[in-house]
Amino acid sequence: CYRCAYDCEECARQYADELERAVELTNGEAAAFISEPVSGATLGAAVPPDSYLQQVAEICRRHDVLFIADEVMTGMGRAGRNFAVEHWGVAPDIMVTAKGLSSGYAPLGAVVVSKKVADAISSGSGSFLHGFTYNSHPISLAAGRAVLRYLQKMKLVQAADSSGNGTPASELRKALETLRELEPIGDVRGIGMLWGVEFVADKQSKKPFASALNFAGRVAPSADRPSRSDHARADPVGS
């Protein structure tokens, strides 16, 4: 963790403990915990420490709190798996996905629920049903179906695996990691085809540039809009 609050000493447990304390403060009123498995725009592809998500899932189960994974940005192969949670062997109660589901050709999103959630809804209402004005739009669904077929045909999920060698994602990882030695580069982080480069005014103190300078926007004007003028994203897969 580049900016770890616990100096990376058992930080997965420390962060998980923070969640458990927050849940306990609600005195049983917490309904769900929702998070991106890998942060997107807000933190610039910050990957959680090992075992963190597993501990989060266990805490949610222990307190009967739904674990919701926001895979809108990380899903559909961007992280080198169909869904990013697969890296940690975690099965959320609810998962949402969009963006890469249609690759931006049409507005399309999906909510995936576990059997536990589906059964709870069915037993309460008599059926598992959800509808809204524009659901099942044929053009959006056609785009989504075509994208899914293309992902499989071209083996794009495998191509987005950055863990080894010889894939486009691994080449992207290697290219970005060469930036680490440059003076304004504080951190290079990410997974699959979702990466972030954080800029700092001082490497030693990790002091960020002043927001007014818009340093990231000047260095990488074609990159995603920086949230605090301190990082740029590199995420070439999907929309």
Calpha distance 27→66 (Å, rounded):
15
Residue-level pLDDT at 188: 96
Amino acid letter, residue 159: A
User: Are 121 and 175 in a shared domain?
Assistant: no
- 6, part of any domain: no
Domain co-membership, 71 together with 120: yes
For residue 17, tell me if it sits in a domain.
yes
Its domain, for residue 228, covers 161-234
Rounded to two decimals, what is the model's pTM? 0.90
Contact 45, 233 (CB under 8 A): yes
pLDDT means over runs of 10, the chain (239 residues): 82 95 95 96 91 97 97 95 97 96 93 94 85 88 96 95 93 95 94 94 91 81 58 75
Return the pLDDT at 239: 44
pLDDT at residue 53, as a whole number: 97
pLDDT at 222: 59
In the prediction, which pLDDT does 237 show?
61
Neighbouring C-beta atoms of residue 64, cutoff 10 Å: 10
Same domain, 148 and 177: no
Residues 200 and 153 in one domain: no
Last residue of a domain, one of 118, 139, 158: 158
- SS3 (DSSP) at 175: helix
Query: Same structural domain for residues 153 and 179?
Result: no
